[in-house]
Structure 1
Amino acid sequence: MKTSRKLLIGAAIAPVIALVGPVGTASAHGYVNAPASRQAQCAQNVVSCGDIKWEPQSVEGAKGQRTCNGGVARFAELNDNSKPWRATATGRTVQFNWTFTARHKTSTYEYYIGNTRIASFSGNNQVPPATVSHSVNLGNRTGRQTVLAIWNIADTANAFYSCVDLQVS
C-alpha cells in the first residue's frame, strides 16, 4: 500500500515539477556588444525594438544567412534600416567585441559589408572565452557602413548574427 501511495503522489507532483522546474538553456548564445550592435542598442533602449530587447544574444539562424536577423522572423526589426540605429564613429580598423552568455565550439567568425567578406577568424573548433575581440580592417571604405558579424558554431548547422552600424572616417 505504501508503494501505491508513493506512485500516486509521484504521478501527481511530476506535472507541477515540470511546469515550475528550471527551464533548459540553449547551448550557445552571443552577440557583438562593442561597438554596439543593433541588438545591443535594442537592449540598451537606444532604439525601440521588440523581443530582441530582452535577448540580444539570441539571433541564431542557419549558417549562410546575410541578414541582421539571421533569418529569424521575430527579430525582423534588426533588418529595418529606417530605424534610428546609432553609427559608431571609427577609423578604418575596428575592434569588435563579442559577449557570450553561453559558449559553444566555434568554427569561424566572419565579417561582411554587403556581400563582401572583409575578415574571417578561426575559432579552432574550441569553446571561446566569455569575450572575444577581433581587429577588422575595413579597407578603403568611408561613410556609413553596416558590418554583419557572424559567429559560426562548429558542431551545429547554426550561426549567430550581429549587425553593427559604423561611421567610417
Structure 2
Amino acid sequence: MPVRSRRLSTAALVLATAGLTGVLGGGTAAAHGSMQNPLSRVEGCFLEGAENPKSAACKAAVAAGGKAALYDWMSLRIGDAAGRHRQLIADGKLCSAGDPVYKGLDLPRTDWPATNLVSGTDFTFRYRATAPHKGTFQLFLTNAGYDPAKPLAWSNLEAQPFLTVTDPKLVDGSYILPGTIPAGRSGRQLIYAIWQRSDSPEAFYSCSDVVFDGSGNAPGTAPVPTANGTSGADAHQGDHAHSATTAPAPKTSAPAATTAPAAPTTPAPAATTPVSATTAGSTPIAVAAAVPPTTAADGSAPVTAPERLAQTGSDRSAGILASIGSAFLLAGAVVVVIRSKRRPRGAHAAR
C-alpha cells in the first residue's frame, strides 16, 4: 500500500477511535452509587420495578419525573460540586440534587417507604458503589423542624453530619460505614447522604426515609443490585454505557465501505442470575437481559416485570447509541474516500 494510503487509513482509525472514546468516556465520571441501608428513595423505587413501582410514593415519583431516574438510580450527582452542596442545591430540591430528571424524589409525602431504625444505637450503614472511588461520606439526620409533608430544606437538617467517614472499606460492592444513630429521635425522619469524591469534584446524593416507631421495613432486607444494576427485583441493563472504565465493547459491526449500513438487529437476551438479598459481588455488564421476577423492597411476593431493552425510558442511552453509530458511519465514509483516491489514473479515459 502506498505511504499516503497507509497514512489515510491510520487517520480513519484514529477518527473512529476518537469518536467512540468521546462517546464512552469523554467528560463523564465512572463513580456511581446510592445509599443501600437504610435504602434510598431512588434505589428503593427502582427495586420495586421501574416500569410499574408498587408503592404510591414511587408511582407518584414516576408520574412527576418519569422512569429514567429509576433506571439511573446510581447516577444522582453533580459533576462539579467540589463541596459546594448548599450553594448548588436549592431548598426543596435536596433529594434530586437540583436535577429535573430526579424531581419526583423531591415530592413531600408522608408515605415514602421507610427503614426501621432504633435511636441511640450502633448501626452499620451501607452505601452501594457500582464504581468505587476515594472520597468522604457525610450523613445528616433531619431535626425537630422536619415535616415530611413539606418540601425538604437545608434548615431541616442538623447543621453537622452525625457520621463522617473518609475512604471506608468496600465489601461486596458496598461501602461499610459503621456509626451510631443519634439519640432522642422518634417518628418519621430522613437521612441525607453526601458522597464527595476526593479524586474529582463530583458528588453523589441520596435521601433515605427512616422511622423510629417500628412501622417501616427491616433494615438490610431489600434486594441488592449488582454492578450492572440487575437484582432479584428488576433488570437495569447497560447503564454504564457512558462509563469508559465499565462499558463493554459495542456489539455493532462497522458498515462496509461501499454499501449502506445494515439494518440494526436486536440482540438475544442474556441470562441473569438472582442476587443475594443482602450482598452481591460485581458481575459482567450485560447489554440486554431477561428480566427475572421482581421482589419488592419490603419482602412481599414477587412481581413479574416485562422484558425491557437497555435503559428503557432514558434519553442518555439513545444519545450514546446514536453517537456510536455516527462514529462507525464516519469511519466508513473515510474508507470510501481513501478508496476513491486510489483509483488508477486514466480510469475516466478508459470508459
TM-score range, shorter chain: 0.7 to 0.9
TM-score under structure 1 normalisation? 0.80
The structure where helix makes up a greater share of residues is 2
Shift of 1:7: 2.1
Report if the CA contact (8 A) 1:26-1:102 is conserved.
no
Aligned match of 2:68: 51
Moved more, 94-103 or 126-135: 126-135
Shift of 1:127: 7.0
Aligned match of 2:95: 68
Instruction: Flag structure 1 segments of 5+ consecutive residues without an equivalent.
Output: none
Q: Quick one: higher RCO (CA 8 Å, sep 6+), 1 or 2?
A: 1
Tell me, in whole angstroms, the C-alpha distance in 1 between the residues paired with 2:2 and 2:45.
56
Aligned match of 1:9: 9
In the alignment, which of 34, 38, 42 is matched to residue 35 of structure 1?
38
Shift of 1:4: 1.3
4+ runs of 1 displaced by more than 4 Å? 18-22
Aligned match of 1:23: 24
Does residue 86 (structure 1) correspond to residue 89 (structure 2)? The answer is no
Shift of 1:90: 2.6
Tell me, in whole angstroms, the C-alpha distance in 2 between the residues paired with 1:127 and 1:28.
15
Aligned match of 2:191: 147
Q: 1:136 to 1:3 in 2, by over 3 A?
A: farther
Instruction: Flag structure 2 segments of 5+ consecutive residues without an equivalent.
Output: 143-155, 214-351
Identity of aligned residues (%): 26
The structure where strand makes up a greater share of residues is 1
Tell me, in whole angstroms, the C-alpha distance in 2 between the residues paired with 1:163 and 1:142.
18
RMSD of aligned C-alpha atoms?
Answer: 2.7
Report if the CA contact (8 A) 2:141-2:189 is conserved.
no
Q: Helix, strand or coil: the match of 1:56? A: coil
Shift of 1:38: 0.7
Does residue 112 (structure 1) correspond to residue 141 (structure 2)? The answer is yes
Report if the CA contact (8 A) 1:103-1:128 is conserved.
no
Tell me, in whole angstroms, the C-alpha distance in 1 between the residues paired with 2:208 and 2:70.
16
Q: Helix, strand or coil: the match of 1:68? A: coil
State the AA in 2 paired with 1:157. Answer: P
Tell me, in whole angstroms, the C-alpha distance in 2 between the residues paired with 1:41 and 1:159.
20
Aligned match of 1:96: 125
Structure whose CA Rg is larger: 2
